């Protein structure tokens, strides 16, 4: 058997074992951002940029009480939105984006969030990762959103070169069966936060790194 075939077999075994470990620890992962529909999820994910999920969950109830849908949100003044979301950081930019994307959703999509990643990415403040999370968690359409946790762990677990987030996403989609993508996105985030932190990284406490990972610097 060629070295190339041996490497392919080894990668498949690694993927199967990672799936097994993650399914055992997080059999039914729940999205960490509180939301009640695709619009509220979109806003919550937008707010989570450079902010903790816990902080976003503290802020969104008041925001959604003022604007529970795109129509109501579009009628709020930017300053009112900004004041509410100030604890999330980057509030001037985020408030402007929330106001403008709400107007676009009303005018172009009749108040509904588009089930199309290309259209989502055209909305103000919505990048590829945010759009991917909405497609995955709101519409259950297979995507593999890659945040800093997943990007870091994919490199540490030797599943990607780690040269870019885009390359990491392509590598993970290639390595894992599509039916696992949506679930794995959450499982890897939770695992990274609990067992495979950037620092300190205690390899002995990390089942995956013990078997497959790079030693943390």
Residues 203, 213 contacting (CB under 8 angstroms) = yes
Give the model's pLDDT for residue 214. Answer: 62
Q: How many helices (H) and strands (E) does the chain have?
A: 12, 0
CATH for 38-137, among 3.30.70.3340, 1.10.340.30, 3.40.50.2300, 3.60.15.10?
Answer: 1.10.340.30
pLDDT tens across the length of the chain (217 residues): 344 443 444 778 899 999 999 999 999 999 999 999 999 999 999 999 999 999 999 999 999 999 999 999 999 999 999 999 999 999 999 999 999 999 999 999 999 999 999 999 999 999 999 999 999 999 999 999 998 889 999 999 999 987 899 999 999 999 999 999 999 999 999 999 999 988 888 888 899 998 876 654 3
Q: How far apart are CA 105 and CA 165, in angstroms?
A: 28
Q: What is the pTM of this model?
A: 0.90
CA distances from 93 to 17, 122, 129, 174 (A): 42, 16, 18, 35
Residue 125 is given by DSSP the state T
CB 58 within 8 A of CB 44: no
Which pLDDT score, from 0 to 100, does residue 11 have?
A: 78
Quote the longest CA-to-CA distance of the chain.
66
CA distance 74 to 62: 16
22: tokens are 């993650």
Q: Which CATH architecture has domain 3-30+144-212?
A: Orthogonal Bundle (1.10)
For the chain, give every domain's residue range. Answer: 3-30+144-212, 38-137
Interatomic CA distance for residues 112 and 26, integer angstroms: 32
d(CA 125, CA 152) in angstroms, rounded, equals: 23
Interhelix angle for 165-175 vs 148-156, to 10°? 60
Task: Dig out the tokens for 156 from the structure.
Answer: 């540490």
Give the residue from 194, 9, 199 showing the smallest Cα distance to 208: 194
Residue 77 phi/psi, 5° resolution? -75, 145
Please choose, from the candidates 141, 143, 139, the residue with its C-alpha nearest in 3D space to the C-alpha of residue 127.
Answer: 143
What pLDDT does residue 161 have?
A: 86
Closest to 38 in 3D by CA, of 141, 97, 99, 113: 113
The confidence score (pLDDT) of residue 5 equals 40
pLDDT of residue 3: 40
What the block records as the tokens of 55 is: 């902080």
């Amino acid at each position: 058997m060629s070295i190339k075939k041996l490497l392919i077999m080894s990668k498949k075994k690694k993927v199967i074992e990672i799936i097994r470990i993650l399914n055992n620890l997080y059999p039914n992962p729940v999205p960490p951002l509180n939301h009640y529909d695709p619009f509220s999820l979109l806003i919550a994910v937008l707010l989570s940029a450079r902010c903790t999920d816990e902080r976003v969950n503290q802020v969104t109830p008041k925001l959604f009480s003022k604007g529970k849908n795109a129509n109501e949100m579009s009628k709020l003044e930017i300053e009112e939105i900004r004041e509410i979301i100030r604890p999330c950081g980057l509030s001037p930019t985020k408030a402007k984006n929330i106001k403008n994307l709400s107007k676009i959703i009303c005018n172009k999509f009749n108040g509904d969030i588009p089930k199309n990643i290309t259209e989502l990415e055209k909305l103000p403040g919505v990048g590829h990762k945010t759009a991917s999370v909405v497609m995955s968690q709101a519409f259950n359409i297979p995507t593999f959103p890659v945040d800093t946790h997943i990007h870091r762990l994919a490199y540490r677990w030797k599943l990607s070169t780690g040269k870019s987030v885009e390359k990491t996403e392509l590598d993970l989609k290639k390595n894992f069966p599509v039916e696992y993508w949506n679930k794995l996105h959450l499982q890897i985030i939770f695992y990274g936060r609990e067992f495979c932190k950037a620092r300190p990284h205690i390899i002995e406490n990390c089942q995956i790194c013990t078997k497959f990972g790079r030693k943390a610097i």
